[in-house]
Structure 1
C-alpha cells in the first residue's frame, strides 16, 4: 500500500474541557498518513487521480478551527472521518498533538493517534 503523509498542520482551535481553553484557544498540530494505491495517479500524472493534499489540509483545518469538542480523541475521530470520506483511501492514521495542554508539569507534547481502515465500523455510544 502506498502512502500520502501530511505532518505538522498547525491550526488554532478552542477544544478542551476547561472554560479557558474554549475561550482563549490554543494551537493543535495534526499529522495524517493515508494508505491507498497511487499507481493510477503515477501513471496519469493527474492530480484528479490522487488525494489533493492541499484540499485535504483545508478540510482538516476547518474541522480543527470549527466546533469545539472536549477531547482530542473526539477531534481525531472527526479528522479520520474526513480522511476516509474519499473512497480511494483504504486506511488513515491521524495524530492530534496538543502541545499547550493544561498540565502543571514540564512536558513536550500530548497526543492521541487513531488508525482506521475504510472497512472499520466504529460503534458510537
Structure 2
C-alpha cells in the first residue's frame, strides 16, 4: 500500500490530566501516515483520486483544538477514527502524537503515543430457528449496517437447513455477510453478542434452539485463539450451512489455516 506522510504538524491545544493543562494549553506535535492506493492519482494527475493532505491537516488541527481529553491515547483514537471516516480512500492510518512540554518535572525531549488503525473485512455467519427467523436475520444485518464504524458490503441468500448437534428442534435459517469494519475482533464480538441479546438469545443448551446466532468466521487473514474467540471459526470448514452461503459472497477467500478457498471447502462438504 502506498503512503502519504504528514510530519510534525504543530497544534496548540488543552489536553492533559492536570487542570492547568486544560486551562493554559500547550503544544502538540502530530504526524500521520496515510495508507492509500495512489496509482490512479499518479496516472491521472487528478487530486480527486488521492487524499488532499491540506484538508487532512485542517481536520487534525480542528479536532485537536476543539476538544479536551485527559489522555493522548484518547486524542489518537479520535483522530484515527475521524480521519478514516472522513476520508474513505484511507485504508489504514498511523498516528503519532508528541507532547514536548509534558509536565513531569524532569528533563524530557517529548512524550508520545503512536497507534495504527484501519479498515478490516470480517465475514459473519447468521442463524435463527426460533420466532420470526427472517426478521431476526434482517434486523441483525440492519443493525450492523447502521453503525458508523461498520458497513455490510455483501449478504448471501438465506438458506433453510436442518438442525446441527441437537436434532429435536426446528429447522434453521442461515446466511452470511461481509462486513467492512473499524472494530477489532474482540469489540466486534461484543457488538454481535449485544445484537443477539437484543433478540433475546439465551445460551442454555449447546447447539440448541436460538433466536439469533452471529459468529465471526473470518477476519482479514487473522489467526486468533483466546478463551472467548477463535478466528477462523473452528467448525466453519465442516459446516455446509456456513460454507454454502459464504461461498455465494466470497468464494475466492482463503481459509488462513487450511489454505483452501471457501469454494473448495464448500465442495468438500456438499455432495
TM-score class, shorter-chain normalisation, is over 0.9
Query: What is the root-mean-square deviation in Å for CA atoms of aligned residues?
Result: 1.0
Q: Does 2:88 match 1:87?
A: yes
User: Is residue 183 of structure 2 the alignment partner of residue 121 of structure 1?
Assistant: yes
Does residue 99 (structure 1) correspond to residue 100 (structure 2)? The answer is: yes
Find the residue that maps to 1:79 and give its secondary structure.
helix
Q: Verify the 8 A CA contact 1:6 1:53 in the aligned structure 2.
A: yes
Partner in structure 2 of residue 59 of structure 1:
59
In structure 2, C-alpha distance between the alignment counterparts of 1:67 and 1:109, rounded to whole Å: 21
Q: Does the CA-based 8 Å contact 1:8-1:29 persist in structure 2? A: yes
Deviations 1:69-99 (A, max 9, x none): 0000000111111221222111100001011
Match of 2:43 in 1: 43
**Structure 2 CA distance for aligned equivalents of residues 9 and 3 of structure 1:** 17
The alpha carbon displacement at 1:58 in A equals 0.2
Runs (4 or more) in structure 1 with deviation over 2 Å come to none
Aligned-partner SS, 1:54: helix
- Higher RCO structure (Cα 8 Å, ≥6 apart): 1
CA distance in 1, matches of 2:117, 2:68: 22
- 2:71, 2:96 → 1: CA distance? 13
Distance in 2, matches of 1:83 and 1:43, equals 25
C-alpha distance in 2 between matches for 1:67 and 1:87:
23
Q: Is the Cα–Cα contact under 8 Å of residues 34 and 83 in structure 1 kept in the other structure?
A: no
Normalised by the length of structure 1, the TM-score is 0.94
Aligned length: 123
- Which sections of structure 2, spanning at least 5 residues, go unmatched? 121-181, 188-271
Could you tell me the TM-score, scaled by structure 2's length? 0.44
